[in-house]
Amino acid sequence: MAKLVEVGRVISAANETRLKAAMKIVEEVIASIGHPEPDPPANDEDMMTEATVKDGDGFTAADYAYTPNPKAPGSWKLRLTKTPGGAPDPVTVGTAVATLVDNNKAGVPDTDLPTVKAAVRAAWKKANPDKAEDGMPDGIKESAAEFTLDYIPLVEKAVYPDGTMPIKIIRPGWGSSGYYSEEVLKRDGPKVFTKGTQMFADHATQAEEAERPEGSIKDLVASFVNDAYYDSTGPIGLDGKPAGPGLYANARVVEHWRPFVQELAPHTGLSIRASGVASQGEAEGRKGPIIEGIFARKSVDLVTAPGAGGQILNLFESARSATATGGQEMSELQEAVAAKTAAETALTEAQTKIKDLETSNARLLEGEILREATRFIEESLPTTVEGVAPAVWTLTRTRLADSLGSKVVIKDKAIDKPAFKEAIDAAVKNELDYLAKLTESGTVKDMGGGGGTAGDKSALVESFKRAGLSEEEAKTAAEGR
């Protein structure tokens, strides 16, 4: 071991001895630890980075808009640069835009489309610095929009005893303002429609919104008791069926509004106004605005169902007045609901009376027609028929009158007399033809006294009996009286 020398002077013998002992101990400790094994060399894939992985033409993942696996060039799509590592150029970016917006020929999953479109938008701006954003292709254009969602009926037609009710906020799919994907609703719904979100009665007018954008306390109907959540099937409603996929929440209804909401639940639902980002695209075989994100809610309103009628709107006003007038709130609301119930009852009673009157009128008309038919039959049937014994014709005529009563011809709620007269004449002819067959001569004649044999008369009596005459009537007819 070398002699230790302190700069500028020689170390004393005692200190040198102590330092040598300390150094020996350090050397022994180092020797006992040994040398650690060197790390094994990394394989080629581990050594690769996004900057070093290249496709067959020398381009890296940074040159593409869609790179689901940065270390697998075969998965890269939508190149944005003309040369490896170069800046985006108009022609290459234009090709990427065309591939993306033409029915998404690049095959980018819906969940990745917003990110990919954002990358293509950024590349388009760099490649076209002299163009305004208005000139950007619609397929990648981003637009901040305010939209009103379609009317959503209430999930259940009742308010629970604790004052809460389940509500459906948004359903996935196409609506009047655009397409809402399940992914967007799951991602943004709970962040936008949070616990405490307030619900108001009907949309505010432009004047009301300008004067009080936060909404009026008199119109406050309910507030969310939990953050919104996405349910793929939906809660079971009173009809025993699931309400369907969508964004849901529970809301507690303000106490004085509960009778109103309870009464009008079948006629009301939610209408949501919100702000978000949308771009033109295609989903489920249809083109239009694709909602890529929802970042703010503007209002959540309880509104009347389309076509529900003005009476419901009047009840909205009655309930609003209830809040403004303090102590009279419940009585006025109850009066409004009672008025609606009374009107419905009166309508039902009126409809019942109308039905009863229609039935009564039909019966009266039927009776009048029958009476007129009887008179018309009496006038139309001949009182005598040449060649037919009066007694025979009297009986035949009575039977005809009875049977013809059920053969009245009606047209426009009245007897069709020409048609009925034809039916009467045809019946008379049929009877006369039948009577003629009962005699050998083909007609019923006045047989007088002693005309014909006893056998002939007996056969004739039997024939008349088969025609419906009694024994006595048949004998009289056979005598020709």
pLDDT in tens, 435-458: 777 654 434 444 334 444 555 567
Confidence of residue 309 (pLDDT cuts 50, 70, 90): very low
Following DSSP, what letter does each residue of 38-67 receive, concatenated?
PPPPPPHHHH--TTT---TTS--GGGEEE-
What is the pLDDT at residue 11?
56
Q: Which residues of 127-150 are buried (b: 16+ CB within 10 A; e: fewer)?
A: bbeeeeeeebbebbbbeeeebbbb
What is the pLDDT at residue 185?
92
pLDDT at residue 30 greater than cutoff 80: no
Tokens of 178: 């655009």
Give the amino acid at 459.
A
372 membership: H or E segment, kind and range: helix 329-380
pLDDT at residue 325 greater than cutoff 50: no
Which range is least confidently modeled, 63-67, 87-91, 157-161?
157-161
pLDDT at residue 248 greater than cutoff 50: yes
pLDDT in tens, 251-291: 898 888 888 887 777 777 777 778 788 887 888 888 888 88
- Nearest-angstrom CA–CA distance, 424 and 164: 75
Arithmetic mean of pLDDT, 224-250: 85
What is the pLDDT at residue 195?
92
Confidence of residue 313 (pLDDT cuts 50, 70, 90): very low
pLDDT in tens, 343-385: 778 888 888 888 877 777 777 777 788 888 888 888 888 888 8
Tokens of 220: 């406050």
Q: Give the β-pairing of 198-201 and 220-224.
A: antiparallel
Arithmetic mean of pLDDT, 410-422: 83
What is the pLDDT at residue 360?
72
Confidence of residue 312 (pLDDT cuts 50, 70, 90): very low
What is the pLDDT at residue 81?
94
Name the more confident of 93 and 316: 93
Arithmetic mean of pLDDT, 17-36: 64
Angle, vertex CA 90, rays to CA 84 and CA 92, nearest 5: 50
What is the pLDDT at residue 447?
37
Nearest to 150 by CA among 271, 243, 276: 271
What is the pLDDT at residue 455?
54
pLDDT in tens, 86-132: 999 999 998 988 888 777 778 888 767 777 888 888 898 899 988 88
What is the pLDDT at residue 143?
58
Q: At what angle do helices 329-380 and 390-404 cross, to 10 degrees?
A: 160
What is the pLDDT at residue 191?
92
What is the pLDDT at residue 226?
94
- Nearest-angstrom CA–CA distance, 173 and 152: 13
What are the domain boundaries of the chain? 1-32, 50-140, 145-307, 366-479
User: Residues 228, 329: contact at Cβ < 8 Å?
Assistant: no
- Nearest-angstrom CA–CA distance, 384 and 362: 36
- Nearest-angstrom CA–CA distance, 370 and 289: 70
What is the pLDDT at residue 287?
86
What is the pLDDT at residue 26?
65
- Nearest-angstrom CA–CA distance, 382 and 373: 16
pLDDT at residue 7 greater than cutoff 70: no
Angle, vertex CA 177, rays to CA 122 and CA 253, nearest 5: 120
- The set of residues, in sequence order, having a beta carbon less than 8 Å from that of 434 and lying 6+ positions away, is 467
Which range is least confidently modeled, 59-73, 126-140, 150-164?
150-164
What is the pLDDT at residue 316?
44
Q: At what angle do helices 90-101 and 113-127 cross, to 10 degrees?
A: 150
Sequence-separated contacts (24+) of 329-337 with Cβ below 8 Å: 329/256, 330/256, 330/259, 333/256, 333/259, 333/260, 334/259, 336/260, 337/259, 337/260, 337/263
Give the amino acid at 12.
S
Confidence of residue 464 (pLDDT cuts 50, 70, 90): low
- The set of residues, in sequence order, having a beta carbon less than 8 Å from that of 332 and lying 6+ positions away, is 318, 321, 322, 325
- The set of residues, in sequence order, having a beta carbon less than 8 Å from that of 444 and lying 6+ positions away, is 387, 388, 389, 392, 435, 436, 438, 480
* Strands of 413-454, DSSP E: 414-415
What is the pLDDT at residue 200?
84
**Cα 226 off chain centre by:** 25
How many C-alpha atoms does 462 have within 13 Å on its Cβ side? 6
Confidence of residue 59 (pLDDT cuts 50, 70, 90): very high
Residue 277's CB is within 10 A of a number of other CB atoms, namely 17
What is the pLDDT at residue 166?
85
The CA-atom distances, in angstroms, between 314 and each of 218, 333, 423 are 15, 11, 61
pLDDT in tens, 162-190: 888 888 888 899 877 788 899 999 999 99
What is the pLDDT at residue 445?
42
- The set of residues, in sequence order, having a beta carbon less than 8 Å from that of 439 and lying 6+ positions away, is 445, 460
What is the pLDDT at residue 318?
46
Arithmetic mean of pLDDT, 307-328: 44
pLDDT in tens, 198-224: 888 765 554 555 454 545 556 788 899
Q: Of the spans 57-61, 162-166, 326-330, 381-385, which averages the highest pLDDT?
A: 57-61
- The set of residues, in sequence order, having a beta carbon less than 8 Å from that of 169 and lying 6+ positions away, is 152, 189, 193, 228, 246, 247, 248, 249, 270, 272, 300
Nearest to 184 by CA among 284, 300, 294: 294
Confidence of residue 308 (pLDDT cuts 50, 70, 90): very low
pLDDT at residue 469 greater than cutoff 70: no
What is the pLDDT at residue 299?
74
pLDDT at residue 147 greater than cutoff 90: no
